[in-house]
Amino acid sequence: MTDQNASLVSCAERLFPLAALYLGSLSGGRAAVTETLASVRRKSPDTWEDEALPRLLRLCQTRAPEGMDEQDFPDDPALEPLRPLLKLPPGSRCYLALSLCGISPEDAASVRGISPEELTKKTEKAMRQMQFMCSGEPPEPEALREAVRHLPWQDSDTEALLAAVSAGEKDASAEQEPAPIAGEIRRITRQEHGGKTVAIPVWGIVLGAACMLLAFGGLLFFALRTPKPLPMQEQEPPAHAEYEPEEIKRFQEYLTIAEAQKKTAGYAGAAESELLFLNTKLKPDEQPPRCEVTVSGADKRLTEYVLNAKTGELLTKEELPAEKLPNTAKWVPVAEMRQAALRCTGQTAALYLKEKLGSGADGGYYKYELLDANGTVYAMEFDAMSGMLMKYSAEEPAGEEYTNIIPPEFAKQQALNRAAITDASQVIFTKVKQDGGVYLIAFTLDDGTQYMTELNAENGAVNTVDVQPVSADMTDAVGVIEAAKRAEAMAGLTKERPALYTKAKVERSNGAYVYELAFETADYEYEVSVNTETGAIVKYRARGK
């Protein structure tokens, strides 16, 4: 066995008890570990060991049943102490399994997006739940760990794992090789190959030049007739979005976020790197203008410092009640998130009113509020681990009226621009509605992620963005677009008889994940459910209007 295969098997033996306990099933645990390791080795051959645990937990989260499956857990006296654990809710099973299966507390806390202290509390809570189920006499932790060591990873499991990994690597290699093209291939440019010169067909040069001119002309035509889209998150702010000198001067009167935090560190008597700045708020309308900074030090205590927002003078200092602190070890650096927030405004400069770090049910987040020179207040929330924009809003000054309403197609394109989506064929629009001065645009990506966007109906500026990611693992799913094609085929729809979608989302039904689709034509309304993994239609309903 090679060193790489030995590492794979060692990782599988370590992760298998975790998956088996989380899923309440030995066969399910073996399948989840095999699928996980084959996937991460195929997609990340250099970093697969780091990605195996997070990938496995995401996969188990989508498959974990509420109760145990007695039929798939062997009747072995050595495993008897584990039976009460299998009766716990999935979340509690996960935390207890992490503590029993040799996963370090640091790694377990990081992969769950919580602090080690919070992990300890959740594990203790799971133990109390098991104690209640056992009428006050739960197994000792050491007895549980000993039982875990008897969960069998067998030679046949190793063979299946290595076969799956080998097949995945072959598939990956095949994907990288270009498919053969039938017929003769003629090169348009002169190239040297082993001392031989390939001739350039004159007609080929003329045809190529003509195609290039036509393409350039078409692009120029559409660029001149299509309104300029809003800048996307990845783009730099447009060069024309500049402030008047007096506005720049007004913004410069106040401390920046970085300056306020640096002064706070000085008042705290600590280096900035030793502190966690949880909330920084600028209140320019107060007298004097105030900057409130909530910070946590090495002792985990919270302190709020209130500074003069112009001079940096310390006004007050107050100890705050303790609260849960986010684990920011793997977060995107805060300096990068500040730039991302500014790019979302489409401006070259803005006044930062708020920067907040926190954690919720969906993981860690950054929240920002910025004010531009026109009085528009932008609010946005980013996923702290990936930097993905999750929510966005732009509140303009009151009193503005809308007269020239943009076309729906342009509004849809603006919504796609904000989500950095370049191919409209890879989304399904479920709502395009004008309501007074705004457009409400909703669409679903191929992986099931849903976007709800509100736009200014006059100029196309994006006011709000609400993103709802899919909690299920969609790695091997057929995709919403394919599911929609199959649903439309069953309904007998064609391009001449298109469908208008009102719903396209991922939901769990009878223990499996399905695409819930709803669409209509001039005469009928359809509701279709499609299995996300197999693409099979599991529910179909059509009714006349």
Chain Cα centroid distance, residue 460: 26
Domain boundary among 106, 137, 171: 171
- Do 166 and 207 have their domain in common? no
Percentage of the chain modeled with pLDDT above 70: 79
Choice among 181-195, 280-294, 298-312 with the minimum mean pLDDT: 181-195
Which of the residue ranges 78-87, 271-280, 407-416 would you say has the lowest mean pLDDT?
A: 78-87
Q: Looking at the domain assignment, is residue 437 inside a domain?
A: no
For residue 201, being part of any structural domain is answered with: yes
Domain finish residue from 144, 171, 198:
171
| 42 and 138 share one domain | yes
**Domain coverage including residue 523:** 480-544
Q: Is there a cis peptide before residue 288, judged by omega within 30 degrees of 0?
A: yes
Q: Is residue 248 part of a domain?
A: no
Q: Reduce the DSSP state of residue 423 to 3 states and report it.
A: coil
More confident residue, 286 or 450: 450
72 pLDDT above the threshold of 80: no
Cα–Cα distances (Å) from 315 to 287, 289, 293, 294, 310, in that order, read: 12, 11, 12, 14, 12
138 and 198 in a single domain? The answer is no
Q: How confident is the model at residue 230 (pLDDT cuts 50, 70, 90)?
A: very low
What integer pLDDT is reported at residue 186 of this predicted model?
30
CA 320, 323, 325 angle in degrees (round to 5)?
120
Which is higher by pLDDT, 453 or 216?
453
* CA nearest neighbour of 363 among 327, 337, 392: 327
- Statement to judge: residues 142 and 74 lie in one domain: yes
List the beta bridge partners of residue 462: 455
* Domain-located, residue 58: yes
The tokens describing 172, both together, are 């990956």
Pick the residue with more confidence: 75 or 145? 145
CATH number at residue 513: 3.10.450.40
Average pLDDT, the chain: 79
Same-domain check for residues 205 and 64: no
Q: Are residue 202 and residue 68 in the same domain, yes or no?
A: no
CATH number assigned to the domain comprising residue 100: 1.20.140.160
Which pLDDT score is estimated for 398?
Answer: 60
* 436-440 CB contacts, 8 Å cutoff, 24+ apart: 436/402, 437/400, 437/401, 437/402, 438/463, 439/406, 439/408, 439/411, 439/415
pLDDT band at 341 (very low <50, low <70, confident <90, very high): very high
Both 23 and 167 in one domain: the answer is yes
Q: Look at residue 36 and tell me whether its pLDDT is greater than 60.
A: yes
pTM of the model: 0.43
Rounded distance between C-alpha atoms, residue 278 and residue 334, angstroms: 11
Q: Which residues contact 113 (CB under 8 A, 6 or more apart)?
A: 327, 359, 363, 364, 385
For residues 84 and 212, membership in a common domain is answered with: no
Over 50: is that where the pLDDT of 184 sits?
no
Residue 422 forms part of a structural domain: no
Which residue has better confidence, 330 or 230? 330
| The CA-based dihedral angle spanning residues 194, 196, 199, 204, taken in that order and rounded to the nearest 10 degrees | -10
pLDDT computed for residue 213 by the predictor? 63
| Among 60-64, 136-140, 262-266, 539-543, the range of highest mean pLDDT | 262-266
How far lies 408's CA from each of 39, 63, 227, 405, 495, in Å? 41, 40, 13, 9, 20
Question: Are 9 and 157 members of one domain?
Answer: yes
Q: Are 88 and 23 in contact (CB under 8 A)?
A: no
Same domain, 196 and 134: no
Looking at the structure of the chain, the number of domains it has is 3
Amino acid (one-letter) located at 396: E
pLDDT per residue over 383-411, tens digit each? 898 888 888 888 877 655 556 888 999 99
Which sign does the torsion angle of CA 132, 133, 139, 141 carry? negative
Question: Residue 192: what pLDDT?
Answer: 35
Candidate ranges 91-100, 388-397, 437-446; pick with highest mean pLDDT:
437-446
Co-location of 7 and 107 in the same domain: yes
* 360 φ/ψ angles, rounded to the nearest 5 degrees: -135, -160
DSSP characters over 137-171? -PPPHHHHHHHHTTSPPPHHHHHHHHHHHHHHHHH
pLDDT category at 334 given cuts 50, 70, 90 is very high
- Counting residues of the chain whose pLDDT is more than 90, the rounded percentage is 29
Residues 201 and 72 in one domain: no
* Predicted local distance difference test score (pLDDT) of residue 173: 55
